Homo-oligomer: A and B are copies of this chain.
Amino acid sequence: MVEKAANALLPGDTIGIIGGGQLGRMLAMAAARLGLKTIILEPDAGCPAAQTANRHIAAAFDDKHALKEFSAACDVITYEFENIPVSAVSFLEENNLLFPSSLALEKSQDRLTEKNFLRDLGIATAPFAPVEDVASLKTAIAEIGTQAILKTRRLGYDGKGQVRINGDTGIEEAWQAIGAVPAILEGFVDFAREISVIAARDRNGRVVCYDPAENVHREGILRTSTVPAASSPQTTAKAVKIAETITDALDYTGVMGIEFFVLGDGALAVNEIAPRVHNSGHWTEAACDVSQFEQHIRAVAGWPLAWPLRHSNCVMENLIGDDMDRLPQLLSDGNCLVHLYGKAETRAGRKMGHVTRLTGPAKS
């Protein structure tokens, strides 16, 4: 139906989504709006995504029998988080179209691999050094300084697996605090602001980017994304160019979230890349004609991307843990779009939903 007709999905076809969190939930709804079916592979029986998908295979990601069943039922496969065993993804990739490819997953699952990948592309990052043990941590601190964060190479998210290094923190304690596992020491970047770009790349290599959002994190968790970001057109152009460089280097298909530090002089350093739809792109659902979720589905389905048109300015705020206590007020605010993820239990630090406020028409 499009350029790569043989592989493009038809309405009624099925997209498999590995992972059952809120990103999978929103992907499943976007797929449904396009007449596509979804199957979620996720061990948690009550996961958010299964509630809006056509089917749920409740099994571990390395369950061979489940992977075969999943593989047989899907016309194309994608994933909604990056902490999946590469072995599972490689198995599926042998039998199915799978986007983004396992290469993107490999590069982004490991903070050190990711940083080296970016550096090899000539893209600035925070200063970093590998840490294998206490000795190499000491070497890294000597090189980078004490204004730094020790992060596990793998399995960290939302501030987990991280500890701040400073004059008062014992080096041995920091090493133990992250579980004495392979890590990376990242130097602080003295940034003016944090922005992110949500890029989408189709199977033919066309890249489109949404307007950058300006992000505020607290305790390692995204709190708000505001659009437009207070960054110059030059900075935006540079960020888009970097997004194109990264996605082209991976021959990437799908949506990628790229977080940047904007320095005082407008220079950019990439903080992190995520090979999936991204929390800092949730605003696109409220303020754009077509959301990041639909763009991702279009890309992996082999369908054309939509223009990333933004009709409104907006502020997205995450609802984390006790923020849910504010729900009655948020629902009573007639100007506030509430989006909840269907999680039964509210826990500290857990993303329960988000709200978006449109703040006026976008300047065209």
Complex interface residues of chain A between 292 and 349 (CB less than 8 A to chain B): 298, 303-307, 309, 311-312, 324, 327-328, 331-332, 334-342, 344
Copies of this protein chain in the complex: 2
CA distance A327 to B303 in the complex (A): 11
- A1-39 CB mask vs B (1 if < 8 Å, else 0) is 110000000011000000000000100010011110100
Does A290 belong to the interface (CB within 8 Å)?
Answer: yes
Complex interface residues of chain A between 27 and 69 (CB less than 8 A to chain B): 29, 32-35, 37, 51-52, 54
Contact across chains for A340 and B2 when beta carbons are under 8 A apart: no
The smallest C-beta distance from A353 to any residue of chain B, in angstroms, reads: 7
- Given the interface pairs A34-B340, A51-B54, the reply to whether A331 lies near B358 with Cβ below 8 Å is no
Interface residues of A, CB < 8 Å — how many? 46
The smallest C-beta distance from A180 to any residue of chain B, in angstroms, reads: 39
* A-B CB contact pairs (8 Å), 30 listed: A1-B327, A1-B328, A2-B328, A11-B327, A11-B340, A11-B342, A25-B32, A29-B33, A29-B52, A32-B51, A33-B340, A34-B338, A34-B340, A35-B342, A37-B51, A37-B342, A52-B52, A289-B337, A290-B337, A304-B332, A304-B334, A305-B334, A306-B335, A307-B335, A309-B334, A311-B311, A311-B312, A361-B361, A361-B362, A361-B364
Binding site for B on A (CB under 8 A): 1-2, 11-12, 25, 29, 32-35, 37, 51-52, 54, 286, 289-290, 298, 303-307, 309, 311-312, 324, 327-328, 331-332, 334-342, 344, 353, 358, 361-362, 364
